[in-house]
Amino acid sequence: MLTRKQHELICFIEDRLAATGVSPSFEEMKEALELKSKSGVHRLISALEERGYIRRLPNRARALEILRTPDRVDADGNERPASRVAPQPANDVVELPLHGRIAAGVPIEAFEGSTSLPVPAALLGAGEHYALEVSGDSMVEAGILDGDYALIRKQEVARDGEIVVALIDDSEATLKYFRHEGAMVRLDPANRAYDPQRYAPAQVRVQGKLAGILRRYA
């Protein structure tokens, strides 16, 4: 049996995942449940996790997976059976669109053609994803090497410090750290041999955020 707040929280998370494919932030959960602090959200999440209703996906911010949900009561007071969300087996494979090569150095054209890349489902969180083959060495200090496959979650906004696919002047794309610098957008490499790139905000469109790296060994 769940407490009222636990029930409210899991229903809120389920509705947000169904609507956007992305779990809500702790701040959004705090506001939705009218809690005074995010520590209350942490306690509710931990309780739901212990009871087998959700699990936190490792190494991913804002990544919650619903394993089962409680029954709900509709506006007429009738009990509505809960939807059941089965966890993906660890050996499930997802075929992601592979959109060519992307520069981890100087910007190059991206999205050249479209094949697919098999990726373990356990590497991905919620949302829509695609893959790009990394070309160049400017992100080596972030552990991203030439020939790696960057797994990208589609989104059009980014926070400072996130690694994103940035489309420049609607023609060239690059994989870099995203930051604001005054009125400019700065794209930072992770290799001291390369200089940051600065653009007017209108020149840069975020095409997605790095969700993971897949590396093949010969």
Active site residues: 138, 176
Contact (Cβ atoms closer than 8 angstroms) between residue 157 and residue 125: no
HSE-up (13 A, CA, CB side) for residue 156: 0
Q: Which residues pair with 108 in a beta bridge?
A: 173
Q: Pick from 70, 67, 118, 76: which is nearest to 95 by CA?
A: 118
> Would you state the torsion angle of the CA atoms of residues 132, 138, 144, 145, taken in this order, to the nearest 10 degrees?
80
Structure tokens that stand for 47 in this block: 């309780």
**Residue given tokens 């972030």 in the structure block:** 142
3-state secondary structure of 29: helix
Kindly report the CA angle at 153 between 150 and 159, in degrees rounded to 5? 100
HSE-up (13 A, CA, CB side) for residue 71: 7
Alpha-carbon distance of 60 to 90, in angstroms, equals 16
Q: Which residues pair with 210 in a beta bridge?
A: 152
